[in-house]
């Protein structure tokens, strides 16, 4: 699952090759420096002189900013503010946003145009990195805040950064490189795009002309009105970035209690991660949300209830079916939460995981169309919003030729749309056809992958393998459960029972006409290609028990 960003060959091989090259350069450099210094010392040619006075003392601001930042390994060194960075006045390819979608676009552009010169403008102080590990694998390692790396499912170590620092060139050198390359301008914001003049305007007024441009601005975490109080500053985290992970990791090692607000993917993953830590350290972890159970907006109710119990087993105190009506400073520097149920919770810190708001501030100033229903920059099936202007990632409202207009906020979607946008920026003119997927892990008993439209208000049919039957494939019978489906169907499965154990199975999500529009693979892996094929067939099925056999749900793999 975590090998998704490997665009050209396995990511590990590419990284290993880059790392070996970097190490060779480092060793040669050290040897050269040592020999030179030794010669200078013994020959007496080493002399010390005072530095000449600076012509412009203000230039020291950039150096001071850089010096105060710690090196964080692969692609992780914070950089100087963009206002002190020279950027080209004109570039062939401009990517707005320095996340996964932009990096995928860059790789696709370079595949078709090997000498392409690509400039990336990003608001964060880091080079492009993966966000999923921030709520998943990084919490499994004690030194992750320093290394920002984690172990994949195959046991290999991997950085969250897509490439090493020396992979990128300096922005002011980009246009001089005969072989092309990619440069990233960090801590910088584009405030307007003029699609007719084909130029982008930075917040300091500088302009960058482009031939092709991609908007991949991602999104910002939503806050709740009850937490938008000055007196709660420093006590509430909207979790999204590398710095958020490092801060929450440090806080969770000294705090006595934390509240996670939200029962979706991010909230449930963080709750489980902190809950496991709390079992060892004594940290009390609450998870508060309005739904009846964890993942209540995605999973059918019976499976959401079952999942909630698994989250509780991870050391989390789950408080469901309630809203936070007020938040005020409490005793001993805590935050006091009042719930609609009448309950009160006092905690040292609050983490809000209430969803994502697409970053579309550019739209109004740039005259770009926004989707009023689902949010995001509105684009066609080729992901083009205007001539020579494309959109990808979380901020994209696109037309899915199978499922209609959609906006998706997952890592794989950023990879897929970024890659497609990059291909179309080099003349491919391909429509969006690939169905992206997402995954989540909540403790040792819950791991799933999903594709298509998976929303709990849809009709669902779940097919699960009974644990006692998994050892005998021929004798095994399907245990099917479902939320109410169309009365016209003759094969309506039974309703779920409280005693059912949903360890392994497939959940099909249906439209009113019975067409399968989404699939969740529950503790089943390496079958996503089958699920994608079913979604792309865009048809109704009569026998879901038979359909589930395609996923080999009785296998012990």
The secondary structure of 358-412 as a DSSP string is E--HHHHHHT--B-TTT-SEE--TT-EEETTEEE-GGGEEEEETTTEEE---SHH
How does DSSP assign 217-252, residue by residue? --EEE---GGG--GGGTTTEEE--SHHHHHHHHHHH
- Give the span between the Cα atoms of 61 and 356, in whole angstroms: 34
Phi, psi values for residue 415, rounded to 5°: -65, -50
Beta carbons of 351 and 239 less than 8 angstroms apart: yes
Using alpha carbons, select from 449, 472, 448, 456 the residue that is nearest to residue 510: 456
pLDDT score for 552: 87
- Give the span between the Cα atoms of 181 and 168, in whole angstroms: 7
Using alpha carbons, select from 351, 328, 326 the residue that is nearest to residue 251: 351
Domains 82-128+163-218+359-426 and 222-355 share a fold: yes
How does DSSP assign 109-164, residue by residue? HHHH-TT-EEEEE-SSSS-SB-SGGGTTGGGG-TTHHHH-EEE-TTS-EEESBSS-
Beta carbons of 397 and 414 less than 8 angstroms apart: no
pLDDT score for 292: 96
How does DSSP assign 442-477, residue by residue? -STT-EEEEEE---TTSEEEEEE--GGGTT-TTT--
DSSP H or E run through 260? strand 257-261
Q: Which tokens go with 28? A: 């040669």
DSSP H or E run through 536? helix 528-537
Per domain, the residue ranges of the chain are 82-128+163-218+359-426, 222-355, 446-469+490-551
**Candidates 3.40.50.150, 3.30.2000.10, 3.40.190.10, 3.30.390.30; correct CATH number of 446-469+490-551?**
3.30.390.30
Chain position carrying tokens 């050290």? 30
pLDDT score for 152: 85
Question: Which CATH architecture is the domain 222-355 placed in?
Answer: 3-Layer(bba) Sandwich (3.50)
Q: Is the pTM of this model over 0.85?
A: no
DSSP H or E run through 20? helix 11-43
Beta bridge partners of 378: 397
pLDDT score for 498: 60
* DSSP helix/strand/coil, 108: helix
pLDDT score for 21: 45
Using alpha carbons, select from 216, 234, 490, 224 the residue that is nearest to residue 340: 224
pLDDT score for 271: 98
pLDDT score for 39: 43
Considering the domain 82-128+163-218+359-426 in this protein, what is its CATH number? 3.50.50.60
pLDDT score for 495: 61
Beta carbons of 159 and 148 less than 8 angstroms apart: yes
Strands 207-215 and 90-96: parallel
Using alpha carbons, select from 448, 232, 254 the residue that is nearest to residue 350: 232
Strands 377-378 and 396-400: parallel
Q: Which residues contact 119 (CB under 8 A, 6 or more apart)?
A: 87, 88, 91, 93, 94, 95, 171, 174, 182, 183, 185, 208
Using alpha carbons, select from 355, 322, 61 the residue that is nearest to residue 224: 355
Q: What is the pLDDT along the chain (557 residues), one digit of tens a residue?
A: 334 444 333 333 343 444 444 444 444 444 444 444 444 433 444 333 333 333 333 333 333 233 233 333 344 545 555 545 799 999 999 999 999 999 999 999 999 999 999 999 999 999 999 999 999 999 998 999 999 999 987 889 999 999 999 999 999 999 999 999 999 999 999 999 999 999 999 999 999 999 999 999 999 999 999 999 999 999 999 999 999 999 999 999 999 999 999 999 999 999 999 999 999 999 999 999 999 999 999 999 999 999 999 999 999 999 999 999 999 999 999 999 999 999 999 999 999 999 999 999 999 999 999 999 999 999 999 999 999 999 999 999 999 888 889 999 999 999 999 999 999 999 999 999 888 899 998 988 899 999 999 999 999 999 998 765 444 444 334 455 555 433 333 444 556 666 667 889 999 999 999 999 999 999 999 999 999 999 999 999 989 999 999 998 877 65
């Amino acid at each position: 699952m975590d090998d998704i960003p490997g665009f050209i060959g396995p990511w590990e091989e590419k990284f290993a090759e880059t790392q070996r090259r970097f190490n060779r350069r480092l060793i040669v450099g050290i040897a050269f420096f040592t020999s030179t210094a030794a010669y200078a010392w013994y020959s007496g040619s080493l002399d010390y002189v005072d530095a000449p006075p600076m012509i412009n003392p203000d230039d020291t601001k950039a150096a001071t900013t850089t010096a105060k930042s710690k090196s964080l390994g692969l692609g992780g060194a914070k950089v100087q503010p963009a206002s002190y960075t020279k950027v080209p006045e004109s570039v062939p390819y401009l990517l707005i946003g320095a996340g996964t979608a932009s990096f995928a676009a860059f790789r696709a552009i370079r595949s078709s145009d090997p000498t392409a010169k690509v400039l990336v403008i990003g608001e964060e102080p880091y080079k492009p990195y993966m966000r999923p590990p921030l709520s998943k694998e990084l919490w499994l390692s004690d030194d992750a805040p320093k290394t920002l790396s984690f172990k994949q499912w195959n046991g290999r170590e991997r950085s969250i950064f897509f490439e090493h620092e020396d992979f990128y060139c300096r922005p002011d050198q980009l246009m001089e490189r005969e072989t092309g390359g990619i440069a990233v301008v960090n801590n910088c914001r584009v405030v307007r795009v003029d699609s007719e003049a084909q130029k982008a305007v930075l917040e300091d007024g500088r302009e960058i002309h482009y031939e092709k441009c991609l908007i991949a601005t991602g999104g910002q975490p939503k806050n709740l009105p009850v937490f938008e109080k000055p007196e709660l500053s420093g006590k509430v985290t909207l979790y999204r970035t590398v710095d958020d992970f490092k801060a929450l990791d440090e806080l969770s090692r000294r705090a006595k209690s934390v509240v996670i607000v939200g029962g979706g993917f991010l909230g449930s993953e963080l709750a489980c991660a902190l809950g496991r830590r709390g079992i060892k350290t004594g940290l009390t972890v609450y998870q508060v949300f309005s739904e009846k159970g964890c993942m209540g907006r995605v999973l059918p109710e019976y499976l959401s209830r079952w999942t909630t119990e698994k989250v509780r087993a991870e050391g989390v105190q789950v408080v469901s079916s309630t809203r936070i009506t007020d938040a005020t400073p409490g005793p001993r520097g805590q935050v006091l939460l009042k719930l609609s149920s009448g309950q009160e919770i006092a905690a040292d810190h609050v983490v809000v995981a209430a969803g994502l708001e697409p970053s579309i501030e550019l739209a109004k100033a740039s005259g770009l169309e926004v989707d009023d229903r689902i949010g995001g920059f509105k684009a066609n099936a080729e992901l083009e919003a205007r001539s020579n202007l494309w959109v990808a990632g979380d901020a994209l409202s696109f037309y899915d030729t199978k499922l209609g207009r959609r906006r998706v906020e997952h890592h794989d979607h950023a990879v897929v749309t970024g890659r497609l946008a990059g291909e179309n920026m080099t003349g491919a003119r391909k429509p969006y056809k690939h169905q992206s997927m997402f995954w989540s892990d909540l403790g040792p008993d819950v791991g799933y992958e999903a594709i298509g439209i998976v929303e709990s208000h849809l009709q669902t049919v779940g097919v699960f393998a009974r644990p006692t039957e998994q050892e005998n494939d021929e004798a095994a019978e399907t245990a099917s459960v479902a939320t109410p489906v169309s009365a016209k169907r003759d094969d309506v499965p039974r309703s779920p029972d409280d005693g059912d154990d949903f360890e392994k199975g497939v959940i099909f999500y249906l439209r009113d006409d019975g067409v399968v529009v989404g699939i969740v693979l529950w503790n089943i892996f390496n079958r996503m290609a089958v699920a994608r094929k079913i979604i792309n067939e865009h048809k109704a099925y009569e026998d879901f028990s038979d359909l589930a056999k395609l996923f080999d749900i009785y296998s012990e793999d």
